[in-house]
């Protein structure tokens, strides 16, 4: 069932979305620079993502969500909730460059916070590359606390340096939710 916010609709991806996902954000190096998945170089990469999404939804009843604007139904990005255990989940977001700086990431994150609360998730976490200040700002604004720096934690396949990079860990628990 789709989630609506004042300006957005969040919903499960379907195969028919592959071309729009590829075109809007997944194939753009500037957009995917600090993500932990590789920039899509073909529509097959995007179809593989949708297959992964289907498996996540089947496994836990939630997973990746596409983000569309309500006023014109345009796909502008993605977010999601990934169940790590029965009480802990992770989230994140990616938005087309044309959607940057308009508060969409904050609005989508608030929707994921609400979804996590409704699902009884005790801990919701997210990571950012240490140099991704804009993403860290969204998380702090969304009620997350920066919990620490993890050295050499995650490979970011779209950076020239392929060694594991330092990340900032953010968390939000049911008893410290904003």
pLDDT tens-digit series, residues 5-40: 999 999 999 999 999 999 999 999 999 999 999 999
In a domain, 78, yes or no: yes
Total domain count, the chain: 1
Give the CATH number, domain containing residue 127: 3.40.630.30
- The boundaries of the domain holding residue 96 are 3-173
Determine, yes or no, domain membership for 84. Answer: yes
Q: Are 171 and 124 in contact (CB under 8 A)?
A: yes
pLDDT digit string, tens, across residues 140-170: 999 999 999 999 999 999 999 989 999 999 9
Instruction: Give a yes or no: residue 130 inside a domain.
Output: yes
d(CA 157, CA 71) in angstroms, rounded, equals 34
On whether residue 178 sits in a domain, the answer given is no
Question: Would the pTM count as exceeding 0.75?
Answer: yes
Cα distances (angstroms) measured from residue 40 to each of 22, 87, 92, 97, 165: 7, 32, 18, 16, 21
Cα(52)–Cα(12) distance, rounded to whole angstroms?
12
């Amino acid at each position: 069932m789709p989630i609506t916010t004042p300006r957005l609709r969040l919903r499960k991806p379907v195969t028919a979305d592959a071309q729009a996902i590829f075109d809007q954000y997944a194939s753009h190096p500037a957009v995917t620079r600090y993500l932990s998945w590789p920039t899509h170089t073909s529509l097959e990469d995007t179809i593989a993502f949708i297959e992964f999404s289907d498996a996540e939804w089947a496994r836990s009843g939630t997973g990746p969500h596409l983000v569309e604007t309500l006023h014109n139904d345009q796909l502008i990005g993605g977010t999601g909730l990934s169940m790590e255990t029965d009480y802990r989940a992770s989230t994140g977001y990616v938005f087309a460059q044309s959607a940057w700086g308009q508060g969409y990431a904050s609005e989508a994150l608030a929707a994921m916070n609400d979804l996590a609360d409704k699902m009884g998730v005790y801990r919701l976490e997210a990571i950012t590359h240490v140099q991704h200040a804009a993403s860290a700002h969204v998380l702090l604004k969304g009620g997350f606390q920066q919990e620490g720096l993890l050295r050499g934690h995650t490979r970011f396949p779209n950076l020239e340096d392929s060694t594991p990079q330092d990340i900032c860990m953010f968390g939000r628990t049911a008893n410290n939710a904003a």
